[in-house]
Structure 1
Amino acid sequence: MNKIANELGTEKISKLLLKQAIPASIGILVMSLNMIVDTIFVGQWIGVMAIAAVTVVLPIAFLISSIGMGIGIGGSSIISRALGADKTEKAFLVFGNQITLTVALSVTFVILGVFFGQPILQLFGANGDIMTPAADYFYVIIWGVPFLAFAMMGNPVIRAVGKPNYAMMTMIYPAFANIILDVVFIKFLNLGMYGAGLATTISYAVSGLFVLWFFLSKRSDLKIMPKYFKIKLSILKEIIALGGVTIVRQGTISILVIILNFTLFKYGGEVSIAVYGIINRVMMFSLFPVLGVTQGFLPIAGYNYGANNTERVYQTIKTAVLFGTVIATVIFIGIMLFPTQIAAIFTKDTELLAITPDALVIAFLATPVITAQLIGSAYFQAIGKALPALLLTLLKQGFFLIPLVFILPCFYGVTGVWMAFPIADVLSTAITVIYLRRNLAKNRD
């Protein structure tokens, strides 16, 4: 297995980062396109309330599945460092424990979601006319969430063992399945929100089953082996300490979504929630290459930190920040030039088209600076420093965005919500850069 992963410690940083980041970016792109197309289909074929319903429900599904994502990212960080230190047995043990944790926890939370669906939907902002389509969608996709959690757990592990192209496929295959099934179930069979939910559920299953196939096949040196399923307390603590960063972050995002939906409903009604649904999809899609650079950065930094190659870790940070900042600046220019055209992709509703472009421009004002914040928080997660990783990860959503969403609308109405995004980006980036520089200077002395 080390033969596969060894290039993480020897190949040229820029080439290696591209090799890791491009498949990750493509995977995120296709997954984002999947969610965008989903939103376009329900918006064009069902209506404005359908966009609002998807905006309410998907954060619930991702909150549950983020358990798998957290376990995957936390465990993959340990695996990368174990491979760098030539501890193959530990890598197998960590992976087995990841599987047990993901299956047990995701199934438990799905059962809770089924029994308490109505109050959960209300908590996340399914108010007024949004409740009916949201419930139709929620009670279908909830059954696919364990598959999604397993896929999210397996994806970073696949990258950690040096197979980024297969990690990319875990997002591409379900995206194509969802798009095709959306057309069949919504357009031709006229199944409405139930059809949209059914297409999403099947796509989650495709992703989870692909990850299962990969780790059972000859393509992976890291195998699913039942003897490693038994939980080992020391491994469990290490996975939770690092994976908890992702889980807490997603939990914070879910709290943010609750506050956003209630604030938007209070100041602008259901239409404002639909506006946020469009902005959120554009954010997911447009930032895919920046997120891909961040994902590609993680295994390289983790492996070289495990191998005690501090200078190579430092060069990886510099290269990743440079690549991501250039890309983010290009994205920023595109959003500033074509906000109306972007909004028109999602809806023909005149009221929505009148509001969305200005909101889109405001929300994206700080896009050029975001890479440093993403890489800074990812660095501490990659090297196994759970507490700074957690604090830096929570800076934007937890420490700045949530308070700003409470405060600014009191003075600026709905516009205050959109203003909160760039202000939070600038503040969180500034603090992350200062902390990262101090830490790197200390480590290099």
Structure 2
Amino acid sequence: MESQVVIKDELKEEKIWRLIIKYSVPAILAMMITSLYNTVDRAFIGSMKDIGALAISGLGVTMPILTILGAFCVGLAVGGSTNIAIKLGEGNKEEAEKSLGNTIAIELLVGIVMMIISVFYLEDILYFFGASNDTIKYSMDYMSVIMCGAWFNLPGFAMNSVIRAEGNPKLASNMMIIGCLLNLILDPIFIFGFNMGIKGAAVGTVICQLVICLWSGYYFTFGKSNLKLKLKNIRIESKIIKGIVVIALTPFCMELASGFIHLITNKVLKLYGGDLAIGAMTAITSINLLFMMPVYGISQGMQTIIAYNYGAKQFDRSKKALSIGILGAIGILSFGLISILLFPKQFISIFTKDARLMELALNGISIYSLTLPAIGICILGTVYFQSIGSAKKSIVLSLLRQVIVFIPLILLVPKYFGLNGVWAAQPLADIVSMIIIGLFLIKEFKDCKL
């Protein structure tokens, strides 16, 4: 109780910039480790001799499926951990343990179903998502292994989320960081040491997912967890599952929308630039993500600060937290833009040495990254409305940049400007979204009389 009072006083009285640093830095570090893992994973694949360009293009084709897998993974994990946190807040440990068992059960069931579907239809699905006769082998090699691990990847991710919900975020973060570092070690061993190619990258990833699953399972059975995973609770109870699914719908739909965007983007890229354009986009988005990850860390850190002070009617502190967050985000992303414009070849060469793919990516990144600083306002402005409980606004604004504005642009602009239009669709969507979100924020501040 005393620690809770200290935290509340801190959120109410401590200087906002200090709070932003304290709450954001751990999240930024975790995000950067995850981003580094994704970057190095793709860099190893792209550097494979003679086949790297097609291999990374094949990896790009798998993104819609990976996003759909992530939608179930993240959505159900959020639904389960939120329900568990509520039950723990009510002091109902028994119901919390039932929710834990049901979360594991539904994630396990979904993982098995997706694995079975992939056994029979994976090739057809990959062709639908943009694979060609040249890239299908690499897409199949990667996804066939990844889908075989779905039955333990999903429950493992869910248990890791519950570890946070029961009050041990440090352990949960350490598990993810160690898993990512282990993957960085295993990737070159399987890709080059065992000469497994892109399949080796998938094997390394799946092994790390298994380690996290086993580690989390051990924690909830033999470890020092508050909740215990009991065999009798690993079942489907309609009442509990309903509560999980209701909360899971929003993050699930967001992830699913992202997968839909990947699908459309791949098809447009293939139409105007062929297989290598998909590979170029994979490299470009990976580079941009390196600079965007700290912004997502800032968003996580400022969320608690804004929510608490808004609830306490200290609107000025909420506004200040957003302002400092946006300034920090613009600073990081401006540094990213300058770095990309000054050293584009060095960044692209991380992922490929293929001359044609390099040419496509160099042209694309110079256009695609132009509005990088504007993304900070888009991300943090949306998080502000989420933090103050404006659910409808936050959902609409979160869909604005990547769905509502982006889809019409990526379907229309390339008709007039070809492949350059594909690269330009995202920055155009960023500008439009930044203006709209900015207007929403101005109206909100006026209504609160800040």
TM range (shorter): 0.7 to 0.9
- 1:369 aligned onto 2:374: yes
Aligned counterpart in structure 1 of residue 347 of structure 2, from 328, 331, 342: 342
From 14, 18, 22, give the equivalent of 1:19: 22
1:274-311 superposed Cα distances (whole Å, 9 cap, x missing partner): 10110121122222211111233345556x38x94342
- Greater mean deviation of Cα atoms: 404-413 or 8-17: 8-17
- Identity, in percent, stands at 31
How far is 1:110 from its partner?
A: 3.2
Structure 2: any 5+ residue segments left out of the alignment? none
User: Structure 1 residue 444: deviation in Å?
Assistant: 6.8
Q: Rg larger in 1 or in 2?
A: 2
Matches within 5 A, 1:232-381: 239-301=244-306, 304=308, 308-311=311-314, 313-381=318-386
Q: Do the aligned residues in 2 keep the contact of 1:77 with 1:383 (CA within 8 Å)?
A: no
Distance in 2 (alpha carbons) for counterparts of 1:29 and 1:366 = 21
State the alpha-carbon separation in 2 of the partners of residues 317 and 87 from structure 1: 31
Compared CA separation, residues 326 and 110, structure 1 to 2 (3 A): same
CA–CA distance in structure 2, aligned partners of residues 433 and 43 of structure 1: 39
Indicate the larger mover: 429-438 or 24-33: 429-438
CA contact (8 A) 1:125 1:258 kept: yes
1:57-96: per-residue Cα shift (whole Å, max 9, x none)? 244123212222123445656777888xx54439937953
Secondary structure of the equivalent of 1:138?
A: helix
Instruction: Provide, for residues 309-355 of structure 1, a one-character-per-residue CA deviation record: whole Å limited to 9, x for no partner.
Output: 34265554344333323222222222222111101121111112222
Number of residue pairs aligned between Structure 1 and Structure 2? 440
- Superposed displacement of residue 194, structure 1: 2.1
CA shift in 2, pair 1:396/1:173, >3 Å: same
When the two structures are superposed, what TM-score results if normalisation uses the length of structure 2?
0.85
Task: Note if contact 2:385-2:393 (Cα within 8 Å) is conserved in structure 1.
Answer: yes
User: Which residue is equivalent to 2:9?
Assistant: 10
Alpha-carbon distance in structure 2 between the residues aligned to 1:145 and 1:153: 12
Task: Give the Cα separation in 2 of the matches to 1:379 and 1:243.
Answer: 21
Give yes or no for the alignment of 1:44 onto 2:47: yes
- Answering whether residue 134 of structure 2 is matched by residue 134 of structure 1, we say no
- Are the equivalent residues in 2 in contact too, given 1:25–1:288 (CA < 8 A)? yes
Return the alpha-carbon distance in structure 1 between the equivalents of residues 329 and 98 of structure 2.
Answer: 31
Quick one: which amino acid aligns to residue 70 of structure 2?
A: S
Letter matched to residue 337 of structure 1: L
Q: Deviations over 1:181-214 (max 9, x none)?
A: 2111111111122222211211222233344445
Cα shift at 1:253: 1.4
- Confirm or deny that 1:170 pairs with 2:175: yes
Q: 1:105 to 1:4 in 2, by over 3 A?
A: farther
Distance across 2 between alignment mates of 1:383 and 1:99: 31
Asked if the contact 1:265–1:273 (Cα under 8 Å) also holds between the matched residues in 2, the reply is yes
Aligned residue type for 2:373:
P
Post-superposition Cα deviations, 1:349-403, rounded to whole Å, max 9, x if no partner, equal: 1112222123112111111122232223334445555433322221111111121
Contact kept in structure 1, 2:111 and 2:150, CA below 8 Å: yes
Which amino acid in structure 2 is aligned with residue 114 of structure 1?
Answer: V
Which one-letter code corresponds to 1:9 in the other structure?
K
CA deviation map 1:112-137 (0-9, x unaligned):
33332122111211123011111111
Amino acid at match of 1:92: A
Cα distance in 1 between the residues matched to 2:109 and 2:5:
33
Matches of 2:420 and 2:323 in 1, distance apart? 35
Q: Secondary structure of the residue that 1:168 maps to in structure 2?
A: helix
**Secondary structure, aligned partner of 1:258:** helix
Please report the RMSD computed on the Cα atoms of aligned residues, expressed in angstroms. 3.3
Q: Distance in 2 between matches of 1:287 and 1:179?
A: 21
Instruction: Confirm whether residue 192 of structure 1 aligns to residue 197 of structure 2.
Output: yes
C-alpha distance in structure 2 between counterparts of 1:266 and 1:119, whole Å: 19
Q: Aligned equivalents of 1:248 and 1:284: distance in 2?
A: 21
> Which segment is superposed worse, 329-338 or 308-317?
308-317
Read off the aligned partner of 1:415 and give its amino acid letter: N
> TM-score, normalization: structure 1?
0.86
Q: Using the TM superposition, give the Cα deviation of residue 437 of structure 1 relative to its aligned residue in structure 2, in angstroms.
A: 4.3
List alignment gaps of at least 5 residues for structure 1: none
Q: Secondary structure at the match of 1:129?
A: coil
1:20 touches 1:164 (CA, 8 Å); kept in 2? no
Of the three residues 82, 85, 92, the one matched with 2:96 is 92
